[in-house]
Amino acid sequence: MASKEIIIADDHSVFREGMVHLFRQHFPDDRCREAADGKELLRLVERQTPDLIILDLYMPEMDGIEVAKQLTRSSPSIKILVLTFFTDTVFIEELLQIGVNGILSKDAERKEIAEAIIKVREGGNYYNQGISEIMHQKLQRDYQMVHDFRLYERFNPKEIQVLKLLCEEKTTREIARIIDMKVRTVENYRRSLLEKTGAKNSIGLIRFAIKSKILEL
| 41 and 125 assigned to the same domain | yes
Same domain for 135 and 39: yes
- CATH number of domain containing 11: 3.40.50.2300
d(CA 111, CA 199): 32
Same domain, yes or no, for 81 and 161? no
Looking at the DSSP bridge assignments, the partners of residue 80 are 53
Q: Where are the beta strands (DSSP E) in the chain?
A: 5-9, 31-35, 52-55, 79-84, 102-105, 126-127
Q: What is the CATH number of the domain that holds 167?
A: 1.10.10.10
79 and 11 fall within a common domain: yes
- How many domains, the chain? 2
Residue numbers of the domain that contains 194: 145-216
Final residue in a domain of this structure, among 95, 121, 139: 139
Q: How many degrees, rounded to 5, is the angle at CA 186 between CA 184 and CA 188?
A: 70
pTM of the model: 0.65
- Report the C-alpha gap between 43 and 194 in whole angstroms: 31
* CA–CA gap between residue 113 and residue 19 (Å, rounded): 9
Residues 64 and 112 in one domain: yes
The end-to-end CA distance of the chain, in Å, is 35
Q: What is the pLDDT of residue 167?
A: 85
pLDDT at 9: 96
- Mean pLDDT by groups of 10 residues along the chain of 217 residues: 84 92 88 94 94 92 91 93 81 83 89 92 82 65 44 74 87 92 92 84 80 66
Domain boundary among 108, 139, 170: 139
Q: Looking at the structure, tell me whether residues 114 and 62 fall in a common domain.
A: yes
| Same domain (yes/no): 124, 30 | yes
